[in-house]
Structure 1
């Protein structure tokens, strides 16, 4: 039997970590941070995001996700009331993480600060994607970014095509090597899914990726809005969950937004 003591272990200092991460990002650096669906790598400048893109070996069809909070999503996305209600039903009422793609307000002050080439690499057909309800750190950085009008974009912290990493130790060394700061918060809550976030394009209600919490998201949309999403055939059939991964054209061939 292990000896028990009254020694107090070290707790996380989440608020301080948030400030340290945003200090790095606002200076144009790179951060690896935990969210509910794995570890992400975020950049606070076009140069940082270009370095992430090259280091990961991402394909040209891949898009950066805007890091923002619930208020930012409501301000930036241009959704009708019913579809905005769907988003909030899933991410607020049911407290589920979800990637949302939708048309956006191009005149939003935060997006006005985005370098045009970076915006092209992060949008397609007039839409932009963002993870919502990604966790305390993700939401806090999104809020600070919105308030400071300092855009932050990100993607999963991994070599492209190798799957989301749910422990910092599983992120490849060459990815960790380019980070100016990293936070180790241990195993992430959605690790049992072994997929990244579920992503839905709310312009036409197509599923881009069946990811974490997909069955819960599908159930909520069916019960509250009578929306039918396709059935997940499982990881044996579709390990990554992608259904529309190559729908986006090479951004180098797109006209500027």
Structure 2
């Protein structure tokens, strides 16, 4: 989701537009999941390799962009007030998602999803603000690869599964553990280190579509929080009417 730490005057349209594109992917995936839940799509469709790969690409895009924003906002010096405010906002939203999903579906509630990993990555990322780009690339690739190489039964319970080395992860609607998902965050930091000057100097005059995507990107956290209730409520109302 959005890293809400950059003042409006400092926002880069290119980053907001990229985040807006990722939002479209997120809505497409979740709407397809909702169609499956309401019986409009065959059961298990969302678990096909293509859809699962698409979901990982979308999630990775958000985490990657959060890493880019971390460097753009704090690479020249940590602005503690905005950092604390932004991290707290994401953390509170993550807690709200956990509580809501636990009440709605306790068997598969979101105990460490996309908002959780972004909040934690922002805190962990403080230790890497002065790390050179090449080292961030190596570390990011290593964090991403490590849980695919080693796993332990010890990490299977929810109390430890959020770290990322579970041999059989517990059921959850959205599970994005630190390993491997801190990897895209570090890679985003590396990209910003390499291209910060170009990004800062990039001037865009987006058309209507670009402005719409940029607006969505600026409000991505709130869109994330409300889009599923809106989609589910809409399908709940429409499904009986269409099925007679």
When normalised by structure 2's length, the TM-score is 0.23
When normalised by structure 1's length, the TM-score is 0.23
Indicate the structure whose relative CO is greater, using CA pairs within 8 Å and at least 6 residues apart.
2
More strand as a share of residues: 1
More helix as a share of residues: 2
